[in-house]
Amino acid sequence: MWGALHSINGPVVEARFLVDRPETLPKIGELIHARNTRGQRVAFEVVSHVAADSVRAIALADTRGLEVGERTIATGGPLEVPVGEQLRGRILDVFGRPLDGGAALAEPRWPIHRRAPSLTERVPAHAVFETGLKIVDLLAPVPRGASTGLFGGAGVGKTVLMMELMHNTVHRHHGATLFAGIGERSREARELWLEMAESGVLDSSTVVLGQMGETPGVRFRTAAAALTMAEWFRDEARRDVLVFMDNVFRFVQAGNEVSGMLGRPPSRVGYQPTLAAEVAALQERISSSVDAAITSIQAVYVPADDITDPAVAELFTHLDAFLVLSREAAAEGLYPAVDPLESSSSLLTSAIVGERHARIAAEARRVLAKYEELRDIIALMGMDELTPRDREAVLRARRLRRFLTQPFAVTEAYTGKPGVYVELEQTLAGVEAILAGECDDLAEAALYMGGSLDALLRRGREGGRADEQGRAG
């Protein structure tokens, strides 16, 4: 159907169509096109009907060079993105166009506005997505088919952690991984791309970018585009998919910009009135089917560290686990720098992970919390002032904290240590032994940056033998 641009107001346009019946007017969510003075096609998404023959639409590209009266074409459907195995190893924009200099993608294409599975179709997120990372699987198990929030300032290891999780998903779960870059700096996306290539996860992953500097419409739709691609892997290939969103707060922010441009009055503390619905529409699509699941890890920027911010609070209601990265842990070289006390997961109850895991995790947390509590006293007065009971807790907490570090496969190139994947059972056995005092006589360093307790003890014995040989020689 044909129409013409009737008004242009930055990224918001109104287009009038030649309609014979009201139902033929482009629908909300439908894509319409117009050409700018350079002959380039500019896409818009219809966001509201303003009259029987007119729509308001938001640009998904730069609107400079557009003129009133320009012919507008309704495409008859929403934005569609390519799906399928062809996505692997590709870096795409929100339209599914290559950003990696490679060939254009072919059919099939799926519309980005897809229904979330209904309550009867979805499988509750009561299963653990094993990451192979001791500290995560023990204290903040990632729920399969649900969302986990990732929190941490600059330089504490967010990107490295995301890449290790991608690596383990591909190599252990034979799953697919997707990275949605939303509203962050383009330079970071380029670095991520290089790091992904270097650490060997790029070939099995797909990156979808709607970065800072793109129009709000593009940034707002990036998450939906990436989820559509993930849904193909879950529903057609029946494979588990891990979707990273960096940063989901920027999705809310883009929605707010769109809302402001449309002249909608803001509600809570300046956010869009549609905030809850927009977040829910996105998060509800992250779910399991009978055969496979979309599991999502979402970096969350917390403005001014204020967790009562309405957007952050809204995002929190959809998160089933929290991975909090700590600057102190990173400074001490305790990688992955996951904060063992701040991180949590709704799965950590005996009904879901079993009585043993829940008990070991609670005990580990108690000992680590005790150590935190005593740190200042130790710094001031030294260990000698502690009661024997507290001294024992400190000794075990320090060993436990070191046991919860481990080398990553994706950092092998610069740490020189091969990465390890530790199965949950081995993590539990190691933590149980440390808490029972079986490692009290071991040097702390013997438990640092390794895998299972058995592997660490083996490493210690071999190291000891090598030392003896060295001395003998």
Ligand X SMILES: Nc1ncnc2c1ncn2[C@@H]1O[C@H](COP(=O)(O)OP(=O)(O)OP(=O)(O)O)[C@@H](O)[C@H]1O
Residue span binding ligand X (CB under 6 A) among the ranges 62-70, 148-156, 301-309, 458-466: 148-156
Cα(395)–Cα(374) distance, rounded to whole angstroms? 12
Q: Give me the count of residues in the chain.
A: 473
One residue of 408, 435, 439, 450 binding ligand X per CB under 6 A: 408
Whether 10 has a binding-site annotation, put simply, is: no
Q: Which of 106, 154, 269, 351 binds ligand X (CB under 6 A)?
A: 154
Interaction between residue 336 and ligand X (CB under 6 A): yes
Closest to ligand X by CB, 17 vs 335, is 335
Q: Check residue 335 for interaction with ligand X (CB under 6 A).
A: yes
196 lies in the binding site for ligand X (CB under 6 A): no
Minimum CB distance to ligand X smaller for 24 or for 415:
415
Q: Are 323 and 136 in contact (CB under 8 A)?
A: yes
User: Which one of 9-17, 123-131, 157-165, 451-459 is the stretch in contact with ligand X (CB under 6 A)?
Assistant: 157-165
Q: Please identify which residue in 76, 102, 155, 464 interacts with ligand X, judged by CB under 6 A.
A: 155
Question: Closest by alpha carbon to 93, among 74, 79, 113, 107?
Answer: 79
CB of residue 433 to ligand X, shortest distance in Å: 24
Least Å distance, CB 152 to ligand X, is 6
Neighbours of 292 (CB within 10 A): 21
Whether residue 159 is annotated as binding a ligand: the answer is yes
Q: Which is nearer to ligand X, 75 or 411 (CB)?
A: 411
Please list every residue from 158 through 187 that binds ligand X, using CB under 6 A: 158-160
Any catalytic annotation for residue 184? yes
CA–CA distance from 343 to each of 5, 139, 364, 434, 459 (Å)? Answer: 51, 7, 13, 21, 29
Q: Which is nearer to ligand X, 11 or 419 (CB)?
A: 419
C-beta of 160 vs 369, nearer to ligand X = 160
CB of 300 to ligand X, least distance (A): 13
Catalytic residue from among 90, 134, 144, 158: 158
Q: How far is CA 106 from CA 6, 98, 294, in A?
A: 34, 11, 24
Exactly one of 411, 412, 429, 433 binds ligand X (CB under 6 A); which one?
Answer: 411
3-class DSSP state for residue 311?
A: helix
Selection from 74, 82, 78, 75 nearest residue 111 by Cα: 78
Task: Compute the least distance from the CB of residue 98 to ligand X, in Å.
Answer: 24
Reply yes or no: is the peptide bond before residue 108 cis, omega within 30 of 0.
yes
Answer for the pair 64, 87: CB distance below 8 angstroms, yes or no.
no
Angle 271-275-281 (CA atoms, 0-180°, nearest 5)? 160
Measured CA to CA, the distance from residue 247 to residue 218 in angstroms comes to: 14
Beta pairing partners, 154 = none
Structure tokens at 171: 């190599």
Where are the extended beta strands (E) located within 259-394?
294-299, 319-324, 344-345
- How far apart CA 2 and CA 70 sit, in angstroms, is 11
Q: Which amino acid is at 125?
A: A
**With respect to ligand X, which residue has the nearer C-beta, 155 or 303?**
155
* Residue type at position 158: K
Q: By beta-carbon distance, which residue lies closest to ligand X?
A: 157
Minimum CB separation of residue 117 from ligand X in Å reads 32
> Any binding-site annotation on 158?
yes
Catalytic residue among 45, 184, 257, 314: 184
Task: Give the binding range for ligand X (CB under 6 A) out of 32-40, 95-103, 147-155, 197-205.
Answer: 147-155
| Residue 157 binds ligand X, judged by CB under 6 A | yes
Establish whether 399 is a catalytic residue.
no
Which SS3 state, helix, strand or coil, does residue 13 take? Answer: strand
**Interface region with ligand X, contact rule CB under 6 A, candidates 153-161, 277-285, 308-316, 432-440:** 153-161
Query: What's the closest the beta carbon of residue 333 comes to ligand X, in angstroms?
Result: 8
Q: Looking at 64, 97, 185, 238, which residue is catalytic?
A: 185
What 3-state class would DSSP assign to 46? Answer: strand
Number of helices and strands in the chain (H, E): 14, 18
Judged by CB, which is closer to ligand X: 153, or 354? 153
Nearer to ligand X, 183 or 336 (CB): 336
Active site residue 134: no
Q: Does 156 bind ligand X (CB under 6 A)?
A: yes
- Between the alpha carbon of residue 318 and those of residues 42, 297, 315, 322, the distances in Å are 34, 12, 6, 11
Amino acid at 32: I
Dig out the tokens for 183 from the structure. 């509203």
152 is in an annotated binding site: yes
Q: What is the total count of residues that contact ligand X (CB under 6 A)?
A: 14
Q: Six-digit token pair at 61?
A: 């590209």
Q: Which residues are annotated as a binding site for ATP?
A: 152-159
Q: Which residues are annotated as a binding site?
A: 152-159
Binding site for ligand X (CB under 6 A): 152, 154-160, 188, 335-336, 408, 411, 415
Instruction: List the catalytic residues.
Output: 158, 184-185
